[in-house]
Amino acid sequence: MLKIYHNPKCKKSREGLKYLQDKGIDLEIVNYIKEGITERELSDIIMKLNLSPFNIVRKQEEQYRKELKGKKFTDIEWIKILVENPKLIERPIVVAKHKAVIAQPPDKADELL
C-alpha cells in the first residue's frame, strides 16, 4: 500500500491523488495539513525521497518568501520549521516502503509502482 501526503486545497495534490485513484492504487491518504506530521515521520519521508529538507520547501509560499528566504538553517531546523508550518511542504508526496517521490507531475508516482 502506498501513502500519499495530501493537501485537499492544493490543485497539484488533488491531481496526484486522482491519478493514483484512477489507476486503482490502494492508498492511505494523510491530510498532513489537518492532521499534522511529526519530526520523525518527516525525517523518514525525507530519507526515502533522498533529498535534503530544504529541497521539499515550497519556495513560492508567501511565508517562505517573507520570513525564511535567504536565511541559513540546518537540516534539523528545517524539519522543525516544516513540522510547525506543514503548508510549506511540497505536495503531494507519495511514499512506499523504501522510497518516496514528490508526485509533480502526477505520473512521477509511477516510479513507486
* Catalytic residue status for 10: yes
Tell the burial category of 72 from Cβ atoms under 10 Å away from its Cβ (0-12, 13-18, 19+).
exposed
- Catalytic-labelled residue, pool 2, 10, 29, 51: 10
Buried b (16+ CB within 10 A) or exposed e, 13-34: bbebbebbeeeebebeebebbe
Give the gyration radius of the chain's Cα atoms: 14
Left (φ > 0), alpha (ψ -120 to 50) or beta: where does 75 sit? alpha
Under a CB-based contact definition with an 8 Å cutoff, are residues 56 and 81 in contact? no
Q: Kindly list the catalytic residues.
A: 10
